[in-house]
Amino acid sequence: MTINSTTSLYCVLGDPITHSLSPVMHNSAFLHTGYNGAYVAFNVKDIGAAVTGIRALNIKGISITIPHKLTVMEHLDEIDETAKKIGAVNTILNKDGKLHGFNTDCLGATNALLEKTEIKDKDVLLVGAGGAARAIGFGILAEGGRLTIVNILKDEGEQLAKDLGVKYYPLSFFKNLNCNIMINATPLGMTPDTDKMAVEPEHITPDMVVMDIVYNPLKTRLLKEADKKGCVTVDGVSMFVHQGVAQFEMWTGEKAPVEIMRKTVLNSL
């Protein structure tokens, strides 16, 4: 990779951010396609100040991760209709100085699940109610799934359930609910706190499809416990790569090297 005065800069903003594999994934894609771009990670606490910096430095494309997917929206010039409906932005395109917000998490999650299972007419328990959960919930409903939200924080969970028109239950009620698909949309289990998981192992049953959006580590404790039960599992890499592919193509206008991106992430893990 050659970085020079014509190199376009891209980045991911989050807190924490040291676990992120977005830089290695996107830089491998730039290198493979010959696109003159560079992608870096910034640990950001003040998202408003960071967006001001993006404008000043003319950063061309931005990934947004925990905890900024909702709060970043008030700082943008335009927001895509799907992202508006979801209520969260994970991707920004800087076009002629105007910052446009999009959400590629939705497509990433549904495509990852559809590789392993049908969604239509399935009962889906979504653990979490943050920005990623909003996108996933929207996608599940769009694919015809029957969705229920479970979350530790009552206000957050009830609000998401209201926005999506579905039911909410406290996380402690998980053991009383039946589902075909269970999705962890929280950061529980992410490096470095790899021993944590959103639900107790005894509440995972063999007939569940279990998905974890955490991709570092590749095999979270949740997925290991699900494997022990004989569940079909979906790791976070598939969703991560699918949403990254959509970002790359939006930013560059070029076809993304999907398998290169997937292999790079897997090798890094």
Three-state secondary-structure class, residue 167: strand
pTM reported for the whole predicted model: 0.84
Catalytic residue chosen out of the listed positions 69, 122, 196, 255: 69
CATH architecture of 8-103+238-268: 3-Layer(aba) Sandwich (3.40)
Q: Give dist(CA 218, CA 194) in Å, integer.
A: 10
Q: Look up residue 237 and give its two tokens.
A: 């890499």
What pLDDT, on the 0 to 100 scale, is given for residue 1? 77
Axis-axis angle for helices 105-114, 131-142 (nearest 10): 50
**pLDDT reported for residue 269:** 85
How confident is the prediction for the chain on average, in pLDDT? 95
Q: Is 210 helix (H, G, I), strand (E, B) or coil?
A: strand
91 pLDDT exceeds 80? yes
The residue among 248 and 191 whose pLDDT is bigger is 248
Tell me where in the chain the CATH 3.40.50.10860 domain(s) lie: 8-103+238-268
Q: For CATH 3.40.50.720, list the domain ranges present in the chain.
A: 106-234
The proportion of the chain whose per-residue pLDDT surpasses 70, expressed as a percent, equals 100
CATH number at 106-234: 3.40.50.720
Q: How many C-alpha atoms does 199 have within 13 Å on its Cβ side?
A: 30
Position 216 confidence tier, pLDDT thresholds 50, 70, 90: confident
pLDDT digits (tens, 9 = 90+) for 174-197: 999 999 999 999 999 998 899 999
Q: Is 85 a catalytic residue?
A: no
Assigned token pair, 254: 């070029």
